[in-house]
Chains A and B, each alone.
Chain A
Amino acid sequence: MIRAIAGREWRALFLSPLAFIILGVTQVILARLFLGHVNLFLMLQGRLASLPNAPGLTTLVATPLLGNTGVLLLLITPLATMRLIADERAQRTLPLLYSAPLSSTQIVLGKYLGILGFYGVIILMSLAMPLSLLLGGELDWGTLSCGLLGLVLLAATLAAIGLFMSTLTRHPAVAAMATFGAVFFLWIVDYAGHARGAGGAVVAYLSIVNHYEPFLRGLFDTSNVAYYLGLTVTCLLFSVRRLELDRVSVR
């Protein structure tokens, strides 16, 4: 049942030009950034060779590109997730799901897995460029897979935030703006909060980037995993709750 909803979501995405334009634009931008990273590496290559323990291809090209993909996901998320529930409301198709023998949890998980599949495609495509470096060099698989895990967790969290925002309204544009606001806020929240005692620490902990950077450095810390999973699960639970409230609502 969850699979059917996910499949329908996935198809709906690819039936509209939106998915393709997102993939295309992402790819062009990442290609430009990739070129920049490779250029920098080529410039530094001579000096790096003389250093012991010098940063390699992975650190200078592959993980920065994963970092860029993370930033792009932040910008893509509002557009990719805005339709999820809001559009069903606008098209008045939700009664179909509500009167079928499905729980709200199944609806939410189906929608979530559908959009996660799309993020999977974005991530795989962004990975193609660093992997092409294998043609002429070597990659540090440990660091790369750690960074990849971070990216997947970040994507999962962003998708969950977007899904929740989409359950709140019947206008996809409103959902998009709310998602953008929420995600961007989490992104910049610690810009003003540097080193100001306990409060600063809390603000820094909230930041969605602060938990991503260690992954890119090849540092696997369960507390960062916990941050992403916690945020994801919270948003999903809120979404389920919101759908249930639909039936009770006093409109």
Chain B
Amino acid sequence: MSRSEVLVETDAVSRYYGKSVAVADMSFAIRRGEVLGFLGPNGAGKTTTMQMLTGNLAPSKGRVLIAGHDMQTAPEQAKRHLGYLPEHPPLYRDMTVDEYLDYCATLHSIPRKGRKAARERAKARCGLTEVGGRLTANLSKGFQQRVGLAQAIIHEPDVVVLDEPTVGLDPIQIREVRGLIRELGEDRAVILSTHILSEVQASCDRVQIIHRGQLVLNEGIKELAARMESQVLIAAFRKTPDQGLIQGLAEVRSVDVLEDRRLRITHEPGRDPTDALVRLSVAQDWGLYEINPEQSSLESVFVELTGAAAETS
């Protein structure tokens, strides 16, 4: 199997609830070895999309293919390649972790002989070795989440779908789970949904931003980083500088005045005017004491995209 084989493909998938559109004409593909981050505000259609990918919800229109099997016409073959952690981990409260994982292994037709090994492997990966004998109902939220994660990977699926995998975890557990996601992403396709932007930056290769049921962005994390590269400098001076001189610099596009003798300088992409500005300030004795690229984060890209989408819709 080539590493770049397409494992998940959706073809113009739509889902309506009555008249309201939860997901509209969504098409995308995920290859082996990719971690895809599904990003969007609450209610954007992330969970609906994940439910359609995993066969929990039938699309109103369009097709979902998992490892080449159509979820509608061959659901059992498709689901063999699938591990799913829903928003709320599907735990049976009256079972111990070991019993529960054994049950999941059976449901995923792991033969009896391999069950114990599969269970121990999943437990080790998710940091559950200590709690095997405890009832899932008595575990903390973080551990319950990890049991849910173990359930999703116990049968070594090609496609792992995780709906908000780090909700309820503490910072150390979040780092562990991100590590696990990276590791899983090496030889499978992983899809995770989140509304936490740093999570996508930390663990994904590719980002899809979804807003009101529509894909507004589908980019590699590198392209996204380029998009986020700052084009704005904030400079602070002790004396009031001459705006016209700064405007005259070749790299500078526009200058805005902020309070406290600060300037917001927008420059041409990839051409940083810092050196020129410093030389100018020394020559004119403006007393430049601070100069910073304005933080353009995923947040601002996100707001820009979803805000723009909101206006057009």
Binding site for B on A (CB under 8 A): 1, 4-5, 8, 12, 15-16, 91-103, 247-248, 250-251
Contact = CB atoms under 8 A, between A and B. Distances in A.
Given A5-B107, A95-B51, 16 more contacts: A4-B107, A12-B94, A15-B94, A91-B92, A94-B90, A95-B54, A95-B84, A95-B86, A96-B107, A97-B107, A98-B56, A99-B54, A100-B79, A101-B107, A103-B75, A250-B17
A29 to B, nearest CB: 28
B106 interface: yes
Interface size of B as a range: 20 to 34
Most chain B CB inside 10 Å of its own CB: which residue of A16, A91, A100, A103: A100
A100 B90 contact: no
A194 to B, nearest CB: 47
B18 interface: yes
Contact of B76 (A8, A15, A96, A102): A102
Contacts of B79: 99-102
Given A101-B76, A103-B76, A95 B58 contact: no
B90 A1 contact: no
B291 interface: no
Interface string B68-84: 00000001110110111
Contact of A1 (B17, B80, B84, B106): B106
A251 B108 CA distance: 29
Contacts of A100: 79, 104, 107-108
B16 interface: yes
Contact of A96 (B57, B75, B151): B151
A247 B90 contact: no
Interface string B103-116: 11011110000000
A93 B103 contact: no
B91 A93 contact: yes
Contact of B86 (A12, A92, A101, A248): A92
Contacts of A91: 90-93
A181 B79 CA distance: 38
Contacts of A99: 54-56, 79, 82-84
B291 to A, nearest CB: 52
Nearest to B107: A100
B88 interface: yes
A170 to B, nearest CB: 13
